[in-house]
Amino acid sequence: MSQIHSKSRQRAEIAFANAQTQFFARNGAVEELDSIVRSRKEKTLRLREARLAKEAQDRATATASLLAKRAKC
């Protein structure tokens, strides 16, 4: 059934559709930004863990090397 609406109703419907489209587009952009922020945090955490593991390994290697040098003396 097609209904005939007044011109003001048609303009209101068009304005509402435009506003709704902008809302959904903005919502999609916010979701995309949230995804980027989440992936950045995950990457930062992963890199921090890798750096801390490497630093711990380097300290252990340096300590072992120092102990070996002291044992030779």
13-36 pLDDT, tens digit each: 889 998 888 888 888 889 999 999
- pLDDT tens-digit profile of 49-65? 999 999 999 999 999 99
How far apart are the C-alpha atoms of 50 and 70, rounded to whole Å? 30
Report the pLDDT value the prediction gives residue 1, as an integer from 0 to 100.
41
Higher-confidence residue of 12 and 3: namely 12
Tokens of 39: 């992936």
Look-up of token digits 């120092």:
66
Q: pTM of the predicted model, to two decimals?
A: 0.57
What is the DSSP code string of 16-50?
HHHHHHHHHHHHHHHHHHHHHHHHHHHHHHHHHHH
How would you label 30-42 residue by residue, b for 16+ Cβ within 10 Å and e otherwise? Answer: eeeeeeeeeeeee
